[in-house]
A and B are shown apart, each in its own frame.
Chain A
Amino acid sequence: MRRGVYALAGLLALPAALAAGTAAPLARQELTDEVRQCVRRGLEYLASTQNRDGSWSSSGGMSRNVGISALACMAFMANGSQPGRGPFGENVDRGLNFVLDHVGRDGYIAAGSNSRMYEHGFATLFLAQAYGMTPRRDIAEKLRMATALIIRSQKRVDGGWRYDPSQVGASDISVTVCQVLALRAARNCGIKVPAEECVNRAIDYVKRSCLPDGSFCYMLRHRSRGSYALLSAGLSSLYGAGEYDCPELKRALRRFKEETPRNIARRGRISHYYFYAHYYASQAAYHAGGAYWDIYYPAISKELVENQNAGTGSWQSNFGDAYATAMACLVLQLPYQYLPIFQRLGADEVTAKGAEDAAP
């Protein structure tokens, strides 16, 4: 039955979203042509160096590494390509094949003897980002297996994760952040992640790793002052676990604000964990938003642009150029806002409640 001309026809003018839209677009001004060209050249480098099987050959013993394939493919996806779609769609497809081909019967994703839970975490995160974006049906099953392995590998003693996929031994915050983000991404795909037995224990572990000065210790038994990389990993773990307003986060953000300037202005002195640190530091700053991001991103993008190899478009690190280039591209492309794992869920609320309170 047609309701007629007197139906409520004029709701067009009133959507609440329009009112909310008075907020300025987040980062359009940050995406300078220079940054975009820099990213483009980095991705082209990755595309040109990818092996036919979807892996990358790299120095530092990192050749045919599932973690690097996962990070590189996520760099392509952060640019808007998807499996089978976009200028790097074929590269993502090949990388996806490589990762899926290396999902073991137990769900452990590893290629070669060098693979550790770092790589498994990155690969699981990548599968979670690709799930639902390609009609191939094997992702779901293997992502479930990989997620189950993470859950199974949570350390009995402290609730975190370490290099090996076993429940025995103590955890470190560096591996734990990879698993927390992978679990978060898997859960966002509809995969069951037990809250009580797994998530809450992981959150507890991360919080216990937070020292009174806001930094994070590497392992609970070594409660020494942590590094910028561990600080960034701890912050990302809390955001990834949905802890937007806890005291540990506020402490860590205060620390982060202090540490960031001296950890960016290290031109020419790239540390061993430089890219790892900024991969998580960028996410922490992005989720914190406001002044954190406004200070962090222009500085890191400037530094990365300057450090890019002008000839190849790559970046260098001890773990190989593919790893460094993938990490750099992920950092620079955060404002693209194309990867769901990087979505600023409740970011406005975070800024209002947590970050501003924490700001000195």
Chain B
Amino acid sequence: MGKSLLNWLLGIDRGEIAEGSGVRLKFANPWPTWVILVFAVAAVALVFALYKREKGTATRRRKLALATVRCLVVALVVLVLFKPILAVDKSELKQAYVVVLLDDSASMGVTDRYVDPEVQRGLAQVAGLAGGETTELSREQSVQLNERTRAELVNRALANPDIHLLSRLEDRCKLLVVTFADEVRGVEPGAWRPERPGHVPRLVKPSGDRTRITKALRHYADNLRGHRIAAMVVVSDGQTEEADPGEQASQLGILHGQPFPVFTVGVGAAESKDIKIVNILAPEAAKKDDRVTLNVVIASRGYEGGEQVGLKLFRDGQLMHTEPVSLRGDAKPQKVPLPYRPESTGTFRFRASIPARPEELSSENNAAEHTLTVKESKAKVLFVSGQPSYFYRFLKNALLVDQSIQLSCILQSADPDFHQEGNVRITHYPSTRSELFEYDVVVFSDVDPGSFTPEQLAALEAFVRQFGGGFILVAGPFYPVAVWSGTPIEELLPVRLGRMATPGDPLASQTLTEEFRPRLSLQGRNHGIAQLARTVEESQEVWERFPGCYWYQPVAGPTPDAIVLAEHPYDQGQQGPAPLIALGPHKGEGRTLFCALDGTWRWRFGVGDVYFNRFWVQAILYVGTERILGGSRRVRVDIDKRPYALGERVHVRALCFDEAFQASQADALEARVEMQGGASRTVGLKPSGEMDGVFEGSFEATQPGRGTVVVSAGAEQAAADFEVRLLETEFEDPTMDAASLREVAEATRGDFFRLHEIGELNDRVEAASQRITSEVQDEVFDAPLVVALFLGAICTEWWFRKRGMLA
């Protein structure tokens, strides 16, 4: 009662005062001490001086009393100006939240092979498969343990009456139990309680197709803002697709407004034996009778290295080949090349698999598939040269007899009535889009830019950008490439034009006697165009044996997205070694290549056509890939990725042109989606707005399997294959990812436990849930007591003055 009255007088309401804590008077706006002293002395002196001079009937003693009261009033006013505050420690016992997040992704359905006897015993005990006193598991107990999925072990551990993890957490905290994979799902309150002794509630039911730990943590950190979180507990195998989970976890405190620890419990075997076929690296399309290499990438771990397995290659379900493979065992990828020469056209499904071994953690990742479309078409090449250079003469002859190429030549310097050469002879450079778009690749070798109309150059740009055509520009001394500056060709090149050498410049007119040998860049060494022998190493040796060149066309440098295949051994451009052969990324739809050398024909030395032809045919086929292997030339359809997970949206993008090869102005297009063995449906595509002729739309992948999206425009149609897979990523690497879980815990000052150590969590989470003491501050300048004192002092002085007959 006494405390309440005092609180009322002071105008404060601080609830429960912490035991043993004292009330402290503070000032929000205190004056410096010397100011207070000066003011006090001055005020007292002034008050007393005034009262001393006061005339009236008051006695000296009464004047002294009045002066004292006036000083008190002044002191009270000064005190109020100081903004007095009463500070007191306040204690609250708020129940903090504990969120237990249980991973129910598909990988929790994996059964592990536990090797460490101590881990085995611990797991068997927390899962209730062995008593607490067990020192060594029986064979039966080991088998039982190894047959339990991760989810079953978690469910059993949570229901273990010897641990009582959840019930003990609930005693101290507000307990939230949720499951998560890609999204979080709450568990009904109390659903985790066993209904009877021995009952194990199935809290974790493996089903989710991916695990996103920090996404789930962020969800609750955000939703529980304003509430204290004592801890979050994540029970998972750590198989997350998220990048840098530790870094993301370190932001949880900021998101929530207060830091909190995350305790992670790792489920599953951290070290195990596994053979995984990562993927099959191979072209998606090839020509009949070409040599195709299916590179099967294998990663194996837990093996000593050298173990022999049989890699089986199936085509459309039929075993084609079994390749003996010696495993590396160190988890690093190893590439197994399997050559294949398609003898017929069509679409073939290849499957590479290694039979699962008994000791393997997972057999789900022992196979990979690849689809190869085989076509029977030649690359249609238009080869334009300004002069009959050796490059033109040798390459023209090489391409004329190459079975994969159909050639048409234009030699600009030729006589007007000269019969231009080629498998298909033409009389002039294409003057219309329709004529130009008959080709797959256009090669310019030191051509005269003045011989082209702006419309022809614009058509060439469209040929590359919109219709996937390949374009190669080979420099020469007659027409420096800088003459292309400001033309559409400049934008297509993978180099920035700059410094130019005209025929009158020293570079072009002096006798050049110094040889230089183009040096392959790191990218060039591994790029298919530059592969001139069976292996990268042999190819490198070939390049190093080439005779040098004497001339090259300097340019400012490669564009940022260019791939420089070969560079000058010592001449520098503006951004490093001068580029000699540069490959552009897709310029729109097509690909481009720039060669600063006019002397690649010198690679014929002693070997003739072998390497010179091989390089240029490879380059031509590479830049022309889109059109050589593409379907319709007026309709293109692409999907944004493959494979898709079930439920994902498949985004379709179509490029459509009318019969004059102008961008389609249609209001909408329709795409037909056909699933193998399933019904087809129609998806509407709308103009993207990005550029004319581009249409976009999407649909949900509702059925696992392979499908095709077909877009039609008039008589032409184009198709793109896609595949919908179920839960693939969850089994790519089923080993428990202790590192990610440890990162999350350490980033939040929590801790990492293995499932067999889950009992230790009881003590750790308890320590995080405590009574909270905080300082509460109350301003008292307007408290009733202060007002009463002020009024009391004023009234007392007034009364005394009246009694003393003072003015």
Q: Which residues of A contact B (CB under 8 A)?
A: 1-21, 23, 25-28, 31, 80, 82, 84-87, 89-90, 93, 131-133, 135, 140, 144, 188-192, 335-338, 340, 343-346, 349
Contacts and interface: CB of A to CB of B under 8 A. Distances in A.
20 contacts: A1-B466, A11-B283, A13-B528, A14-B292, A16-B291, A16-B403, A16-B617, A16-B621, A18-B531, A19-B290, A21-B532, A135-B508, A190-B411, A190-B413, A191-B418, A192-B417, A343-B608, A344-B609, A345-B400, A349-B401
Nearest to B391: A132
B388 A190 contact: yes
A87 B513 contact: yes
B287 A6 contact: no
Interface string B77-101: 0000000000000000000000000
Interface in B396-412: 397, 400-404, 411
B417 A18 contact: no
A12 B618 contact: yes
Given A3-B586, A191-B418, A14 B607 contact: no
Contact of A16 (B290, B527, B531): B290
Interface in B496-552: 503, 508-513, 527-529, 531-533, 547, 550-551
A135 B478 contact: yes
B580 interface: no
Nearest to A345: B397
A12 B393 contact: no
Given A11-B286, A15-B614, A190-B418, 12 more contacts: A3-B468, A4-B653, A6-B638, A10-B284, A14-B291, A14-B293, A16-B290, A80-B547, A132-B390, A135-B478, A190-B388, A190-B415
Contact of B282 (A13, A20, A86, A192): A13
A1 B663 CA distance: 13
B284 A13 contact: no
Contacts of B413: 132, 140, 189-190
Given A16-B402, A190-B418, A191-B415, A7 B626 contact: yes
B508 to A, nearest CB: 6
Contacts of B486: none
B614 A18 contact: yes
A90 B601 CA distance: 21
Nearest to B401: A346
A335 B608 CA distance: 8
B414 A190 contact: yes
**Which of B291, B614, B653 has the most CB atoms of chain A within a 10 A radius of its CB?**
B291
Interface in B263-292: 281-287, 289-292
Contact of B641 (A3, A6, A31, A144): A6
B640 A14 contact: no
A148 to B, nearest CB: 11
B167 interface: no
A12 B622 contact: yes
B449 interface: no
Nearest to A93: B511
A15 B281 contact: no
A8 B607 contact: no
A8 B283 contact: yes
Contact of A85 (B403, B415, B512): B512
Given A14-B286, A15-B617, A84 B606 contact: no
A90 B605 contact: no
A17 B618 CA distance: 7
Contacts of A9: 283-284, 625
Contact of B511 (A28, A85, A338): A85
Contacts of B418: 190-192
A244 to B, nearest CB: 12
Give the 4 A-B CB pairs with smallest separation, nearest first: A12-B528, A190-B414, A10-B283, A25-B607
A83 to B, nearest CB: 9
A227 to B, nearest CB: 30
Contacts of A82: 550
B617 A132 contact: no
Nearest to B651: A4
Contact of A1 (B293, B610, B690): B690
B291 A11 contact: no
**Which of B341, B508, B513, B720 has the most CB atoms of chain A within a 10 A radius of its CB?**
B513
Contact of A11 (B415, B512, B547, B625): B625
A340 B385 CA distance: 16
Contact of A6 (B286, B415, B613, B640): B640
Nearest to B533: A21
B512 A26 contact: no
Given A11-B283, A18-B291, A84 B610 contact: no
A336 B286 CA distance: 34
Contact of B621 (A15, A189, A344): A15
B804 interface: no
Given A1-B465, A1-B655, A344-B608, A18 B388 contact: no
A1 B511 contact: no
A17 B630 contact: no
B642 interface: yes
A340 B393 contact: yes
A17 B411 CA distance: 24
Contact of A18 (B512, B605, B618): B618
A11 B629 contact: yes
Given A5-B641, A8-B630, A21-B614, A80 B393 contact: no
Contacts of A192: 414-415, 417-419
A25 B538 CA distance: 14
Contact of A27 (B295, B547, B607, B626): B607
Contacts of A16: 287, 289-291, 402-404, 617, 621
**Which of A7, A13, A21, A31 has the most CB atoms of chain B within a 10 A radius of its CB?**
A13
B252 interface: no
Contacts of B621: 11, 14-16
Given A26-B608, A27-B606, A190-B418, A133 B550 contact: no
Given A25-B607, A85-B511, A8 B388 contact: no
B528 A31 contact: no
Nearest to B621: A15
Contacts of B589: 1, 3
B602 interface: yes
Contact of A10 (B282, B417, B477, B512): B282
B284 A132 contact: no
Nearest to B653: A4
Contacts of B602: 80, 338
A189 B388 contact: yes
Interface string B565-605: 00000000000000000000010110000000000011011
B283 A7 contact: no
Contacts of A93: 511
A6 B292 contact: no
Interface in B623-645: 625-626, 628-630, 636, 638-642
Contact of A90 (B341, B401, B511): B511
Nearest to A91: B511
Contacts of A135: 477-478, 503, 508-509
B615 to A, nearest CB: 8
Contacts of A85: 511-513, 550-551
